[in-house]
Chain A
Amino acid sequence: MLIATRSVTARASLDPPVVFEEFYRLHADRLHRALALTLGDHHLAREATDEAMARAYLHWARVSNYDNPGGWVYRVGLNWATSWWRRFGREHPVPDPPSAVNVAGPGGHLALDLLATLPVRLRSVIVCRLLLQLSTAETASVLDLAQGTVKSRLSRGIEALRTIYLRTEQER
């Protein structure tokens, strides 16, 4: 599921280190940011990153052999957070109203609010493609989607962001 053909640029940044500590040092912050953008909650994202990293540590012999262990950790973190939502009241990972989602705390960035207006399924594709710079095939593999679905969700997400951005600019 997680085996994917990676681009040269992605390979340079996501090559699996042999030692877990090295992997953690290289990727933890980036994956945390990716999860924070996807989930719209950096506290939950930190927990999700810790949890996913702990699982990666536990199964490092296997995970390190994946083509894309970073993608695996991202997916595990996302699944863990989804379960958390389910257990603690949020039945579906639907987007909160922009004003209620503020990853960066008080005075958060407009970009965060814009992203938060998208459903999680679109956000996760945008984050994988644009922030983690995974290829379409890698994103499809990490999120367990068809490549066509990745493309359509990316297109829809970008279009939605563009629309909301222009509307926000006009309101200003």
Chain B
Amino acid sequence: MTEQDIKRLVDSAAATVPAYPDNLNGVRKRAAKMRRRRTLAVTAALVLLVGAAVPVWISAMNRADSTSDTLTSSAQPMIIYPIALNIESGLEKLDPSWRIAQIRPNRTIVGYPLPDNDLRHEIFTLSQQGEIVSVGRRAMPEPKQGPLCNNSEEFVVFGDRSGNETRRVRLPEACELSGIIGADGDTVYLRRGRDDITVVDLITGQTRTLLTMHYPMSQTFAGGTIAVVEPVRASFTDGQQVDCTSDGWTIRTLNVTTGELRKLSHPGSPCDRVGGLSVSPDGTHVAFIQKHDDTAQAFVIDIATGQTVATRQIGGPIAPEIFGIAFADNKTAWVAWLPNDRPRQPPPRLADVVAFATLALG
């Protein structure tokens, strides 16, 4: 097939699309509606600005300090660090045009804008005051965790907290996601194509496929262990095979040193959704979030025994929006979520709360 054949193919596909009906009047009406909406929004913003500024100013004048703005821990047994997002640097970027990709053990959030989600990462850090502060694009705050897939064909490695580029490696094939650099600093593990976990030698540029998966959804690497989530075919008691590929997942781990592959069974229905995978720094535990209907639960599993060593219900009876789970150290994992029962107003700052909780591993 030549390019001309492909062009004919595209033309024939276009020819099968139903014709666009003449809707000029509809377009004009839509434009008029947009204009009205814009005018209304500007007016409302001005009114709100004036309305909000006056009480805030009065409140500021009456208050000696701002300690009452600090949110306190709830009565729940877990440790909660309520975080008020900085609207300027966090909320407006993260929602709706930004998406949080992952959280890192040092309480760093990695986000990216849609739709160029695999190319432009932006890193946020959490300040001591709980504000999410943008560090900048493609700046990776942790050494040995900074290779990024660039233009789908090459890797850029950022080696220090200031985000300086340390090296650049061209790949023979496209990389789909950002990879994870190994403990030696010279090896990158990444997902390439659709099904393969591949290791790339940053010095020689050679690649080697470690693991072939069936439509993997996410992978993570730490302490010499790669963990991946992939769809399962659930087997029910009547023996009938039910395809759960839309929302059922299983977890596999691979020890890159020994080549040992393990399949972890997670509690609950095989069709429960599993996500937010994280491997402990020593590579011995894997943490993840499991969603069943409307509830969410965090689990930590010992890879060697397959046993659940910690679990925690996240949020109330209705699952909140969960940003991710990550290990702070070998004994503690933490979860970030946006509580869905947060009061929206007043005060308005409560609407922007992200909570963090720890799961102690005995």
Q: Which residues of A contact B (CB under 8 A)?
A: 21, 24-25, 28-29, 32-34, 36-37, 42, 45-46, 49-51, 53-55, 57-58, 82-83, 86-87, 91-93, 103-105, 108-109, 111-112, 114-115, 120-121, 126-127, 130-131, 146, 148-149, 152, 156, 158, 161-162, 165-166
- For the complex of A and B, the 10 pairs showing the least CB-CB separation, nearest first, are A32-B20, A111-B13, A54-B30, A104-B16, A54-B31, A109-B16, A29-B20, A33-B14, A36-B17, A57-B31
A92 CA to B217 CA, complexed, in Å:
13
Q: B115 at interface (Cβ–Cβ under 8 A)? A: yes
Asked if A165 and B1 make an inter-chain contact with CB atoms under 8 angstroms apart, the answer reads yes
Partner of A108, one of B9, B16, B174: B16
A49 CA to B21 CA, complexed, in Å:
11
Complex contacts, A45 vs chain B, CB 8 Å = 17
Complex contacts, B115 vs chain A, CB 8 Å = 82, 92-93, 120-121
A34 CA to B28 CA, complexed, in Å:
22
Q: B268 at interface (Cβ–Cβ under 8 A)? A: no
Q: List 29 A-B contacts (CB under 8 A).
A: A21-B24, A28-B20, A33-B14, A33-B17, A34-B14, A37-B10, A37-B14, A37-B17, A46-B21, A51-B30, A54-B31, A55-B31, A82-B114, A82-B115, A92-B114, A93-B115, A103-B13, A103-B17, A104-B16, A111-B12, A111-B13, A111-B16, A114-B13, A115-B10, A130-B11, A131-B11, A148-B151, A152-B153, A162-B6
Asked if B20 and A165 make an inter-chain contact with CB atoms under 8 angstroms apart, the answer reads no
Within 8 A of A (CB), among B3-29: 3, 6-7, 9-14, 16-24, 26-28
Complex contacts, A130 vs chain B, CB 8 Å = 3, 6-7, 10-11
Asked if A29 and B151 make an inter-chain contact with CB atoms under 8 angstroms apart, the answer reads no
B346 → chain A closest CB, angstroms: 27
| Minimum CB distance partner of B9 in chain A | A111
A69 → chain B closest CB, angstroms: 14
A75 → chain B closest CB, angstroms: 12
Asked if B34 and A58 make an inter-chain contact with CB atoms under 8 angstroms apart, the answer reads yes
A111-B10, A114-B13, A161-B6 known, 7 other contacts, Cβ within 8 Å: A36-B14, A46-B20, A109-B13, A111-B9, A127-B10, A162-B6, A165-B1
Contacts A58-B31, A161-B6 given: A49-B13 contact, CB under 8 Å?
no
Contacts A103-B17, A146-B151 given: A53-B99 contact, CB under 8 Å?
no
Asked if A42 and B17 make an inter-chain contact with CB atoms under 8 angstroms apart, the answer reads yes
Contacts A126-B10, A146-B151 given: A166-B24 contact, CB under 8 Å?
no
Q: B96 at interface (Cβ–Cβ under 8 A)? A: yes
| Minimum CB distance partner of A45 in chain B | B17
A55 CA to B33 CA, complexed, in Å:
11
**Chain A proximity mask over B70-82: 1 for CB below 8 Å, otherwise 0:** 0000000000000
**Chain A proximity mask over B247-262: 1 for CB below 8 Å, otherwise 0:** 0000000000000000
A93 CA to B114 CA, complexed, in Å:
9
Q: Which residues of B contact A (CB under 8 A)?
A: 1, 3, 6-7, 9-14, 16-24, 26-28, 30-31, 34-35, 96, 99, 114-115, 117, 151-153, 174
A110 → chain B closest CB, angstroms: 9
A32 → chain B closest CB, angstroms: 4
Complex contacts, B114 vs chain A, CB 8 Å = 82, 86, 91-92
Asked if B13 and A115 make an inter-chain contact with CB atoms under 8 angstroms apart, the answer reads yes
Asked if B9 and A50 make an inter-chain contact with CB atoms under 8 angstroms apart, the answer reads no
A108 CA to B14 CA, complexed, in Å:
11
A51 CA to B6 CA, complexed, in Å:
30
A57 CA to B13 CA, complexed, in Å:
29
A156 → chain B closest CB, angstroms: 7
B249 → chain A closest CB, angstroms: 16
Complex contacts, A127 vs chain B, CB 8 Å = 10
Asked if A58 and B153 make an inter-chain contact with CB atoms under 8 angstroms apart, the answer reads no
A68 CA to B147 CA, complexed, in Å:
37
